[in-house]
């Protein structure tokens, strides 16, 4: 067997289940299969290989599911692909072959089933990796921060439960004004290169990674900048996104055989780690820009989010939105929630009137990081926070956000019941960074680190205990 050409990437992982993305390579006139075998740390005997057939329709990639795992348990696994000499092999017959597995051994940990156990997460967005004529320019610059994340993950307690990549994992339009990528093969090549750099590849082989798109997976400020020729671009961009980002996410349900369903009804999804739950929104592809019903989330998604906020028993509720929920920007704010104030206010009123506690909005996009607290002038029980982490790697063509970028001296919104007011809980970070979140019984520790892993800022969000 040969090493994967992209991956392995650990996706959605529960107490008993893990999804792992692998890509092989096309071989003329013969079938290609990918496989994984695994065992608990300390055991000698490997499991039987779990195999899948790779096809050009999926860019020679697929997601393999591992089931019946033990909770809160560390496993090691091997992954690879092969092309048997006999072209009539099937997934079943390949399992009987005496294959030689690649030497690389990876590790994964299943989630704990215990509530109230401390958990930790990595959050980041906007990873710029310039590609020129299909070749990355100085790729180490777009990869170095993942070495720092991996080092932190190896040395910190509690273990990292997941990494949330909240948008712009690739820049399809990195040469937007010169030669933007529009063809499917060009976009696929960008994903392959972005996800196969050494440090990010090592990190994603060990930590469950959850992704959601933002505009640069398609083009800048999509769909506001869409023109009549962009349907072709959108189809190609989303086909690639579905393969490389959505395929290993909870957006895909499992069929009756325990395998990932081929159908994909939406890009937004939910997942849980004990008493901490996440709702990852699609704030990009379901927008309605019409004057009479402006929405950043479509009707069904808004209803699902509100129902989850009201009915979920989770102690902490994280809502991921690739663009900023608040604070608003002084300029160029029409691409974020600032341009959809009615829908934002509906969500805030749902949280306030139902007295929902410990809601935190997670976002990126602005190439600056911050933590902010939102309160209500007449309702002292209301409190919501936002954690923004961006960028993982900036382009020299784009500025970093600063405190002066945001509107900080005005209420976020006004209703007959009172004003929504916000305040920063620390400085705005204007350099490449990632966020390390640690959630315990009493608080959320928010720690921002620079691209070398050095601590930039630490903030604590107290959790309501009611």
Could you write out the DSSP letters of every residue in 417-448? TEEEEEEESSPPB-SSEEEEEEE-SSEEEEEE
Say whether both 339 and 246 belong to one domain: yes
pTM: 0.96
Q: State whether the Cα torsion 194-198-200-204 is positive or negative.
A: positive
According to DSSP, residue 292 is labeled: T
Domain match, 167 and 33 both: no
149 and 97 in a common domain: no
**Which of 79, 109, 139 is at the close of a domain?**
109
Beta-strand pair 383-388/316-320: unpaired
Residue 7 CB neighbours (<10 A): 27
Structural domain contains residue 457: yes
Q: Are residues 312 and 183 in the same domain?
A: yes
- 186 and 79 assigned to the same domain: no
Instruction: Indicate whether 365 and 247 sit together in one domain.
Output: yes
Q: Rounded to an integer, what distance in angstroms lies between the CA atom of residue 351 and that of residue 349? A: 5
Residue 114 lies in a domain: no
**195 within 8 A of 7, measured Cβ to Cβ:** yes
CB 208 within 8 A of CB 162: yes
Same domain, 369 and 452: yes
Could you give the number of structural domains in the chain?
2
Last-in-domain residue among 66, 86, 109: 109
Is residue 167 domain-shared with residue 97, that is, in the same domain? no
Do 143 and 105 fall into the same domain? no
Same domain flag for 84 and 155: no
In tens digits, what is the pLDDT along the chain, a chain of 466 residues?
Answer: 999 999 999 999 999 999 999 999 998 888 999 999 999 999 999 999 999 999 999 999 999 999 999 999 999 999 999 999 887 788 899 988 999 999 999 999 999 999 989 999 999 999 998 776 667 777 788 899 999 999 999 999 999 999 999 999 999 887 655 566 788 999 999 999 999 999 999 999 999 999 999 999 999 999 998 988 899 999 999 999 999 999 999 999 887 777 787 889 999 999 999 999 999 999 999 999 998 899 999 999 999 999 999 999 999 999 999 999 999 999 988 999 999 999 999 999 999 999 999 999 999 999 999 999 999 999 999 999 999 999 999 988 889 999 999 999 999 999 999 999 999 999 999 999 999 999 999 999 999 999 999 999 999 999 998 7
For residues 154 and 283, state if they share a domain. Answer: yes
Cα–Cα nearest to 448, from 107, 183, 145, 25: 145
Range of the domain at 39: 6-109
| 450 belongs to a structural domain | yes
């Amino acid at each position: 067997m040969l090493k994967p050409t992209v991956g392995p990437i650990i996706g959605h992982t529960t107490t008993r289940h893990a999804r792992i993305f692998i890509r092989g390579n096309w071989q003329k006139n013969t079938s290609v299969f990918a496989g994984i075998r695994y065992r608990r740390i300390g055991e000698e005997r490997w499991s039987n290989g779990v195999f899948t057939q790779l096809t050009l329709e999926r860019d020679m990639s697929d997601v393999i599911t591992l089931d019946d795992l033990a909770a809160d348990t560390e496993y090691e696994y091997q992954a690879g692909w092969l092309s048997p000499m006999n072209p009539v092999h099937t997934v079943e017959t390949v399992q009987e072959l005496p294959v030689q597995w690649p030497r690389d051994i990876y590790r994964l940990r299943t989630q704990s089933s215990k509530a109230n156990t401390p958990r930790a997460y990595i959050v980041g967005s906007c990873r710029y990796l310039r590609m020129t004529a299909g070749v990355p320019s100085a790729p180490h610059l777009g990869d170095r921060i993942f070495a720092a994340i991996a080092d932190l993950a190896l040395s910190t307690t509690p273990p990292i439960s997941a990494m949330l990549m909240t948008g712009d994992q690739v820049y399809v339009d990195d040469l937007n004004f010169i030669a933007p990528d529009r063809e499917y093969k060009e976009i696929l090549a960008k994903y392959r290169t972005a996800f196969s750099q050494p440090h990010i590849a090592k990190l994603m082989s060990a930590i469950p990674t959850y992704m959601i798109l933002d505009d640069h997976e398609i083009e800048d400020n999509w769909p506001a900048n869409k023109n009549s020729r962009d349907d072709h671009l959108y189809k190609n961009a989303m086909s690639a996104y579905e393969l490389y980002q959505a395929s290993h996410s909870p957006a895909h349900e499992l069929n009756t055989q325990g395998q990932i369903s081929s159908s994909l009804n939406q890009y937004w999804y939910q997942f849980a780690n004990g008493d901490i739950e996440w709702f990852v929104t699609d704030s990009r592809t379901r927008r309605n820009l019409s004057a009479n019903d402006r929405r950043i989330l479509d009707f069904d998604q808004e209803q699902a989010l509100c129902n989850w906020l009201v009915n979920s028993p989770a102690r902490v509720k994280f809502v991921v939105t690739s663009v900023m929920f608040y604070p608003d920007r002084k300029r160029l704010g029409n691409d974020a929630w600032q341009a959809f104030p009615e829908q934002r206010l509906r969500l805030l009123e749902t949280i306030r009137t139902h007295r929902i506690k410990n809601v935190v909005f997670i976002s990126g996009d602005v190439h600056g990081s911050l933590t902010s607290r939102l309160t209500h002038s007449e309702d002292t029980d209301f409190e919501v926070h936002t954690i923004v982490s961006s960028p993982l790697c900036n382009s020299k063509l784009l500025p970093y956000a600063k405190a002066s970028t945001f509107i900080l001296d005005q209420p976020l919104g006004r209703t007959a019941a009172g004003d929504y007011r916000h305040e920063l809980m620390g400085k705005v970070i204007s350099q490449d960074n990632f966020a390390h979140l640690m959630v315990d019984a009493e608080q959320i520790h928010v720690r921002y680190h620079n691209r070398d892993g050095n601590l930039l800022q630490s903030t604590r969000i107290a959790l309501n205990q009611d």
